[in-house]
Amino acid sequence: MKLKKNIATSGEGFIFNPGTGDSFSTNEIGAEIITLLKEEKSVAEITQLISGKYDVDASQFENDLDDFAAQLKDYSILE
C-alpha cells in the first residue's frame, strides 16, 4: 500500500489531492493510518501499531483496514 507522493495532509485530518482537486476528511484513526502510510510502513506494521494502541483485535482491524484501503484507492489517494 503506497500513498501518492503529492498527497497533502493537515493536522486536523484533512487531505487534499492536488492531482484531482478533491478534499477529504478522516477520523483520528484514519489520519493516523495515513501518517503511517506516509512513513512507508507496511500493512503488518500498521496493524501491529494500531491494535497495540487501540482496543481492537488484529483481525477486526485488518478487515477495517482493507475497507479503508479500498476507499483510498477509489479516491486515487493510493498509488
Partner 1 sequence: MEKLRYERPIIKKMNTGLMNKFGTRTEYEPVTHIESVPVKSLIKEYGSPLFVLSEKQIRRNYQNATRIFKTRYPKVQFAWSYKTNYMNAVCQVFHQEGSWAEVVSGFEYEKALGNGVPGNKIIFNGPDKTDEQLVAAARNNSLIHIDHYDELYSLIKLSEEHNLRPRVAIRINMDTGIYPKWDRFGFNFENGQAWNAITRIINSTNLDLVGLHCHIGTFMLAPSAYGIAAKNLCELTWSIKEKYNKVLEYIDLGGGFPSENTLKGAYLPGSDTVPSIDQFADAITDVILGYGFKQEDLPLLILETGRALIDDAGFLLGSVLATKRLSDGRRATVLDFGVNSLFTAFWYDHKVSPAQAFGNHTEEMVLYGPLCMNIDIVRESITMPLLEKGNHLVVHKVGAYNMTQWMQFITLRPNIVMIDTDNKTHVIRKAETLEYLELNEQVPEHLKQNPLK
Partner 2 sequence: MTTPKKKIVIAVTGLNAIDSPGPGVAVIRAIRECEDFEARIIGLSYESLEPGLYMHDLVDKTYQIPYPSAGTDTLLGRLTHIHDIEELDLIIPNFDAELFNFIKLRNKLKEMGIATFLPDLDQFEARDKVKLYEFGKKHDLMVPADKIIFQAKELVETAKELDFPLVVKGKFYDAIIANTLEQAEKAFYKLQAKWGLPIIVQEFINGTEINIAALGDGEGNTISVIPMRKLYITDKGKAWAGITLDDDRYIDLAKKFIKATKWRGGCELEIMQTADGKPYIMEVNPRFPAWIYLTAAAGQNQPASLVKMAMGEKVEPFTDYEVGKIFVRYAWDLITDISEFQQISGTGEL
Q: Give residues in contact with partner 1 (CB under 8 A).
A: 15, 22-30, 33, 52-56, 61, 64-65, 67-68, 70-72, 74-75, 77
Sites for partner 2 among residues 19-78 (CB under 8 A): 23, 25
In this chain, which of 14, 40, 60, 75 binds partner 2, going by CB under 8 A? 14
Calculate the alpha carbon distances from 24 to 13, 27, 60, 74 in Å.
8, 10, 24, 12
The interface region with partner 2, picked from 11-19, 28-36, 41-49, 60-68 by CB under 8 A, is 11-19
Determine which helix (DSSP H) or strand (DSSP E) holds 14, and give its type and residue range.
strand 14-17
Give the CA-trace dihedral at 72, 70, 46, 77, to 10 degrees.
-20
